[in-house]
Amino acid sequence: MNGIIDFSDLLAAAALTEEQQEHLNYIRESERNLMQLSNDLLDDVAALMRPKAPATDNDRCGQSEMIAFSGHVLVADDDPGNQRLAKRILERLGFDVATADDGAEAVEKAENCEFDMIFMDVQMPVMDGFRATRLLRQKEIATPVIALTAHAFEQDRTRCLEAGCDDYIAKPIDHDIFVKIIAQHACPPVPTA
């Protein structure tokens, strides 16, 4: 999708005939529609993953409570789709979310901004999540780091913890485990109506 947007921007800078301009307008309208569809899909997925508080007396009256967190978190992932999905889910949980495209950028952002939690993909270009986490710990940055990885073997979990991560989440993310781990490392959740 980014390629389409970049290409249409490049075309816009060129001298175009009226017919070519018409095609460009069609491409731009299509990219807006595609972006909206993508955002709607991410909203739906995030809504499905929204956690609910344990049953209360209010639930019996038809008034369920949602869990809301607060704080500033960093999501470091080189995949734009994973990054957007994590960001939307975390925002819906109440977090303010910053993003980084690789471990080096995550370290730089963590040095310049105080985060309450960092979600770190372990396989990224430039600097992987293991090295980035070790570097954060060497710099005495004690922010909880939650490793995100597609590998779900015990030795992968051990490797993440040995690198200095505080916890580990295997992808695809299991909603209940995700919220449980967040609750263990975040500011106390606030029940909301």
Lowest mean pLDDT among 16-30, 40-54, 152-166: 40-54
Which tokens hold the place of 30? 């299509």
- The C-alpha atoms of residue 168 and residue 171 are separated, in whole angstroms, by 10
Note whether residue 55 is domain-resident: no
In this structure, are 106 and 125 located in the same domain?
A: yes
CATH of the domain at 143: 3.40.50.2300
pLDDT at 157: 82
Note whether residue 25 is domain-resident: yes
CA of 148: how far to CAs of 10, 19, 73, 129, in Å? 36, 48, 14, 9
Note whether residue 35 is domain-resident: yes
In this structure, are 90 and 109 located in the same domain?
A: yes
Nearest residue to 49 via CA among 184, 189, 175: 175
Strand partners for 120: 76, 147
Express each pLDDT in 30-42 by its tens digit: 776 676 666 666 6
In this structure, are 29 and 107 located in the same domain?
A: no
More confident residue, 186 or 138: 138
Is pTM beyond 0.85? Reply is no
Note whether residue 22 is domain-resident: yes
Express each pLDDT in 153-179 by its tens digit: 778 788 888 999 999 888 877 778 888
Residue at 24: amino acid letter: L
pLDDT at 38: 66
Note whether residue 54 is domain-resident: no
Which domain range does residue 119 map to? 60-192
CA of 18: how far to CAs of 7, 32, 82, 88, in Å? 18, 21, 39, 40
